[in-house]
């Protein structure tokens, strides 16, 4: 069997730092790389068939290569060093997004992700969540451990005011 026909790979918890070898696996639809030592995700930019990508618990700060992965519906980036999430604004098919435990303060780029149903923003530096008010499909949001804690919920729907 050729490795190039693989559609799913789980390489979690393997102390991987170099993922260049993955760049030719164009048939991948699911890729798990959680709990590794990855800081360069440029090789992933060619994997445009991906629907599921797990990159939690790595050493990521630059997520620009993800902007080309427009077929993603589930993306996990928790526990990294991410502060700029502008590259995510092109991922309009996302339904699930985990950004917990990063260094994010500006979440305005998320306002384009109108298919989001679940959003994790726990333990960041977020003080303003007005950008989320346009996400009408959102039914779960976790924003605990952010500077917003003392502010009144600006979201207009009663469903959004449950802060888990």
Q: What is the pLDDT of residue 2?
A: 74
Q: What is the pLDDT of residue 19?
A: 99
Half-sphere exposure of residue 33, counting CA atoms within 13 Å on the CB side?
A: 25
Spans of all domains in the chain: 3-161
Q: What is the pLDDT of residue 4?
A: 80
From 113, 126, 145, 53, select the one nearest 83 (Cα to Cα): 126
Q: What is the pLDDT of residue 150?
A: 54
Q: What is the pLDDT of residue 33?
A: 99
**CATH superfamily of domain region 3-161:** Ribonuclease Inhibitor (3.80.10.10)
Strands 118-120 and 140-142: parallel
For residues 38 and 49, give the distance between their C-alpha atoms in angstroms, rounded to a whole number: 21
SS3 assignment, position 95: coil
The mean pLDDT values, 10 residues at a time, for the chain of 164 residues are 87 98 97 99 98 99 99 99 99 99 99 99 97 97 86 53 52
């Amino acid at each position: 069997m050729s490795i190039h026909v693989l559609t799913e790979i789980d390489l979690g918890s393997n102390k991987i730092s170099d993922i260049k070898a993955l760049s030719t696996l164009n048939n991948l639809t699911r890729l798990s790389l959680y709990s590794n030592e990855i800081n360069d995700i440029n090789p992933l930019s060619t994997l445009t068939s991906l629907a599921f990508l797990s990159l939690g618990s790595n050493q990521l700060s630059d997520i620009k290569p993800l902007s080309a992965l427009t077929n993603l519906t589930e993306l996990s980036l928790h526990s990294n060093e991410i502060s700029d999430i502008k590259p995510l604004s092109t991922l309009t098919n996302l339904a699930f997004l985990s950004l917990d435990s990063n260094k994010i303060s500006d979440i305005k780029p998320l306002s384009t992700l109108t298919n989001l149903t679940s959003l994790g923003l726990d333990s960041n530096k977020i003080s303003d969540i007005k950008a989320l008010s346009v996400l009408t499909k959102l039914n779960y949001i976790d924003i605990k451990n952010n500077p917003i804690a003392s502010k009144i919920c600006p979201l207009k729907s009663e469903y959004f005011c449950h802060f888990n």
